[in-house]
Chain A
Amino acid sequence: MCAATNPVAGRDGLAVLDAEEIRRALTRIAHEILERTHGGDEVILLGIPTRGVPLARRLAARIGEFEGLKVPCGSLDVTMHRDDLRLHPARALGRTDLPPGGVDGKTVVLVDDVLYSGRTVRAALDALNDLGRPRAVQLAVLVDRGHRELPIRADYVGKNLPTSQREVVHVLLAEVDAQDSVTISDDGSQP
């Protein structure tokens, strides 16, 4: 890809969201979830490992603060359902941890850090299909960076971030990385 066609060239290492902005984005998403699900009844949050899981927990905590509602929260590993398994050496598996009661009849909100090609979400929909029959499935992401390869969209977005495919978006979360930040780099190097 030619650098001249890159709409956002020359922002290597740029901080897109800081800790405070991540907090505000999650607060807004928590409110939106409550609004869209009419008070958060029968909602469960499922984070996609690794960084979707702490995000789901934070959203559950926010919803608890606002409405005094305890939203069940879990994790959903999608590794075994991915379509790119044969492109890499076998990956280590993440944890699948369903809240008691399962997903049947619930509104499941999938939570992930970055929405890109949409393939992870497709894998998650397949994985969910084997676990039960939710009443509805929604998607919450911290960053939507575009370049979808499948007809998938997010219901709740922390930040829409136009990117070139060459760029790499790094989401760091305190639970995993000891700090909260979203940065973008040209060559995949960590901030």
Chain B
Amino acid sequence: MKRHLISAADLSRADALLILDTAEELASLADRPIKKLPTLRGRTVVNLFYEDSTRTRISFEAAAKRLSADVINFSAKGSSVGKGESLKDTALTLEAMGADAVVIRHGASGAAHRLAGWVQGSVLNAGDGTHEHPTQALLDAFTIRRRFTGGSGGPSPRGNTVGARGAGLDGLRVTIVGDVLHSRVARSNVLLLSTLGAEVTLAAPPTLLPHAVGSWPCAVSYDLDSELAKSDVVMMLRVQQERMTAAYFPSVREYSRRYGLDAARMARLPEHAIVMHPGPMNRGVEIAAEVADSVRSTIVEQVANGVTTRMAVLYLLLGGTEFPATEFPAVTR
């Protein structure tokens, strides 16, 4: 693995499987009386959040604390950012305080990449603009793998009892639906899930697909209904009204009618199929309330798996030897 986690494209199949396997072992921690490991004692993790976030920040905080790291939370509101401090100066301040890892969420695409050039510690991208959100993709892959390969715990819709360890997502068909243009979750998921062997299809209105989508390792469809019957996983994306600067569809109601997942559409999915959503949901827009609360929905599971997956990433980036200033060669064991 590399020293930073900026993009899902940085992860080879072996890296991704190592993270998922590690997460699988860490999952049992949640059932124990003491949900804490001493592994990162004395290390400092800074949560640097320039954008609002509930689950990602709490999830990273819980993950770091369960590994006994010290956590410093920074949110742009109420900090010197309000006085006009730049990202670089903030980064140098954190550096001086001895941060071993910086978890960054920023509204600008590429912010995590820039930060990685300024600090000594590991940088974990927790969402940069419309670019990437790799830990979300990892937790989604982890959730899918648990559901479909019968890893310890989760139900196995296919009746497959093979342990999840070492398994990829080969042959699983994942349909990602909705606002791909503004979604960092979609980009990271396309990259990671295809690395793991899944066949990914994007289903979205043409206006909500990025220009370069043709170069992504996935298929593209404008018609959700034709994709439903062959999907093992349907991942609904949030319609990101706050990033929309132009009219991408005539009305919310029309969007919902053509690309929203309601009970009628869910009924057309194969029996084993699952419904995912990275949250926060717009109930009634991209996903109907009855679908979000159905047994097929993995939305709550995704949140729980988020802590486990982020623990795995923090452990693998910070748990071993300190990386030299130059990029460290791939981990072999």
Contact = CB atoms under 8 A, between A and B. Distances in A.
Interface of A: 77, 80-81, 85-96, 126, 130-132
Contact of A80 (B39, B321, B333): B39
Interface in B66-81: none
B32 interface: yes
A85 B25 contact: no
Contacts of B315: 80, 90
Of B1, B26, B32, B36, most buried by chain A (CB within 10 Å of CB) is B32
Contact of B25 (A90, A95, A131): A95
A80 B331 contact: no
A130 B28 contact: no
Contacts of B321: 86-89
Contacts, number: 58
A130 B333 contact: no
B317 interface: yes
A127 to B, nearest CB: 9
A131 B32 contact: yes
Contact of B319 (A90, A94, A126): A90
Given A81-B38, A132-B33, A92 B22 contact: yes
B18 A92 contact: yes
A81 B37 contact: yes
Contacts of A89: 320-321, 328, 331-333
Contact of B333 (A86, A92, A96): A92
A70 B333 CA distance: 35
Given A91-B333, A94-B25, A132-B33, A126 B320 contact: no
Interface of B: 1, 18, 21-22, 25-26, 28, 32-34, 36-39, 315-322, 328, 331-333
B25 A96 contact: yes
A126 B317 contact: no
Contacts of B26: 93
B39 A85 contact: yes
A128 to B, nearest CB: 11
A126 B41 CA distance: 14
A89 B18 CA distance: 13
A131 B32 CA distance: 7
Given A92-B18, A92-B333, A77 B25 contact: yes
A94 B319 CA distance: 15
Please list the 9 inter-chain residue pairs (A to B) with the smallest Cβ-Cβ separation, ordered nearest first: A90-B320, A93-B25, A90-B319, A89-B320, A80-B37, A130-B34, A80-B39, A90-B316, A89-B331
B319 A85 contact: yes
Given A91-B320, A94-B25, 19 more contacts: A77-B25, A80-B37, A80-B315, A80-B319, A81-B38, A81-B39, A86-B322, A90-B1, A90-B318, A90-B320, A92-B21, A92-B333, A95-B25, A96-B28, A130-B33, A130-B36, A130-B37, A131-B33, A131-B34
